[in-house]
Structure 1
Amino acid sequence: MTVYFIGAGPGAADLITVRGTRTIARCAVCLYAGSLVPVELLEQCPPGAKLVDTANLNLDQITAELLAAHRAGQDVARLHSGDPSVFSAVAEQMRRLDAAGVPYEVVPGVPAFAAAAAALKRELTVPAVGQTVILTRVAQQATPMPAGEDLATLGRSGALLVLHLAARYVDRVVAELTPHYGTDCPAAVVALASRPDELVLRGTLGDIAEQVKAAGVVRTAVILVGRTLGAEQFPDSHLYSVERDRCGA
């Protein structure tokens, strides 16, 4: 058997890869976070599949389900919102499967920051404005951030920052980033990206916090801060430039 860690996408049921859908369809067991994974994806499970909502399970209980499926010789679709490579908590599950000798594979998905950029209709890397994107979070009621990864340090880069799990602490985000980006720096918050009730807030570091609080956004959102969000005057990319053609590049 194999455990498949599948990126279920940011929320819309059709934002999952073809590989992800096909994998779900052939797994006898499906573990999913009911509060985050679209229920429509469960319709892809084969008839009689065992469905386990992990929203209220701890890591030991989730591991027990995976090991039980292994003993029964049943493939498992382990659905995670977004993409498994970012803030998915798959690392500790993989560590336990390694210790137990259980094989697993990873099927990538559409991450939340990509869905947010699509909602904003923005490329996050703009020529001569910004070519770096930092994905991070804040440590408030969660695992402490490693040394050197606090907002004050990351903010010195001037890069486009995408903050997960931070909407509840928007005042703190603004306070720590304003000294480095300025109150006029473009900022946005996208809640429930790609879902029917998606909410997009646009502004600057000077006003985004009030917008977030007025809208009541506290979870399932990403905060984006950086100059590329408002870039209008910038050179064309070298990739398609006339000069590149002349040089035969």
Structure 2
Amino acid sequence: MVHFVGAGPGAPDLITLRGKKFIEEADVIIYAGSLVNPQLLNYAKKGCEIHDSSKLNLEEVIDIFKNAENNSLDVVRLHTGDPSIYGAIREQMDELEKLHIDYDVTPGVSSFCGAAAALNMEYTLPGITQSVIITRMDGRTPVPEKESIEELSKHGATMVFFLSSGDAGRLQERLIKSGVSNDTPCGVVYKATWEDEDKFTCSLKELPDKMNEHGIRKTALIIVGKSVAQSGYEKSRLYAADFSTEYRKGIDA
């Protein structure tokens, strides 16, 4: 059996109880060494076989799966954050299906949630935005034309950029050319929830310079949108005294 497990954003106590249980029981662990906090491996039992996938290609990962299956061993494939977001798990699951190896997925806390917690922010503020766009800049991995920065910027929603902190200048340039005001609030969180976490807020105009000041070029999320300011929002109608719900009758209703 192969268990794809979301490791969470970084802090070892932010893994789910189910994910921790699978790690404790695993005979083999394959973890994304470039992103997953190695402290999570402290949960592994003595004698567990551990592989760092940052040094492996897909075929080598699949070979480990096959060898474990042939020896009736349980595997944990440990991915950073939640494995459904930029986790490259579909290609692994397809190979497992071809090999008739059973697998399941345990979700994890995504780093975009960890980043919001680090900034004490709410993404979906009434009157500001009710949508969050999770995306990335194109690079060696292309982005569909309809999902370009220019197209997504038209929505005015909060935008969370993964895998884009290495070229903040190009991101800033493309956002401004797309019509995003250069005074738009931005938040940057480096290694959210890790011990060496770094974070700051600034305007879009200041973004590249601030990232250079902090020495941030990778492993960071960039959040762009009015919600970063955490001001000017409307209070939720759900908790308004005159708002009736299935569970509570409004005072003046």
Question: Which TM-score bucket, shorter chain as reference?
Answer: over 0.9
Q: Displacement of 1:233 after TM fit? A: 2.2
- One-letter code aligned to 2:128: V
Q: Secondary structure at the match of 1:77?
A: strand
The answer as to whether partners of 1:201 and 1:208 remain within 8 angstroms in 2 is no
- Give me the whole-angstrom Cα distance separating, in 2, the residues matched to 1:53 and 1:89: 15
- Give me the whole-angstrom Cα distance separating, in 1, the residues matched to 2:136 and 2:233: 29
Q: Displacement of 1:176 after TM fit? A: 1.2
The residue aligned with 1:174 is 172
**1:12-48 C-alpha deviation (Å, 9 max, x unpaired):** 1111001100111111111112222222211211221
- Give me the whole-angstrom Cα distance separating, in 2, the residues matched to 1:147 and 1:35: 29
Q: Displacement of 1:186 after TM fit? A: 0.4
Q: Displacement of 1:227 after TM fit? A: 0.6
The residue aligned with 2:158 is 160
The residue aligned with 1:108 is 107
- Give me the whole-angstrom Cα distance separating, in 2, the residues matched to 1:40 and 1:198: 15
1:13 and 2:5 matched? no
Q: Secondary structure at the match of 1:63?
A: helix
- Give me the whole-angstrom Cα distance separating, in 1, the residues matched to 2:102 and 2:218: 33
The answer as to whether partners of 2:187 and 2:200 remain within 8 angstroms in 1 is yes
- Give me the whole-angstrom Cα distance separating, in 1, the residues matched to 2:156 and 2:96: 39
The residue aligned with 1:98 is 97
Q: List 4+ stretches of structure 1 deviating above 4 A.
A: 246-249
Q: Secondary structure at the match of 1:207?
A: helix
1:186-205 alignment to 2 at 5 Å? Answer: 186-205=185-204
The residue aligned with 2:72 is 73
- One-letter code aligned to 1:155: S
The answer as to whether partners of 1:158 and 1:180 remain within 8 angstroms in 2 is no
Normalised by the length of structure 1, the TM-score is 0.96
- Give me the whole-angstrom Cα distance separating, in 1, the residues matched to 2:91 and 2:47: 29
- Give me the whole-angstrom Cα distance separating, in 1, the residues matched to 2:40 and 2:137: 30
Q: Secondary structure at the match of 1:181?
A: coil
The residue aligned with 1:124 is 123
- Give me the whole-angstrom Cα distance separating, in 2, the residues matched to 1:55 and 1:233: 43
**1:32-89 C-alpha deviation (Å, 9 max, x unpaired):** 1222222221121122111111111001001110111111111101100110110011
The residue aligned with 2:59 is 60
- One-letter code aligned to 2:219: T
Structure 2: gaps of 5 or more residues:
none
**1:86-125 C-alpha deviation (Å, 9 max, x unpaired):** 0011111111111111110000111010000001100000
RMSD between superposed Cα atoms in Å: 1.4
- Give me the whole-angstrom Cα distance separating, in 1, the residues matched to 2:195 and 2:41: 18
Normalised by the length of structure 2, the TM-score is 0.94
The residue aligned with 1:3 is 2
1:14-29 alignment to 2 at 5 Å? Answer: 14-29=13-28
The answer as to whether partners of 1:83 and 1:108 remain within 8 angstroms in 2 is yes
- One-letter code aligned to 1:206: K
- Give me the whole-angstrom Cα distance separating, in 2, the residues matched to 1:135 and 1:57: 27
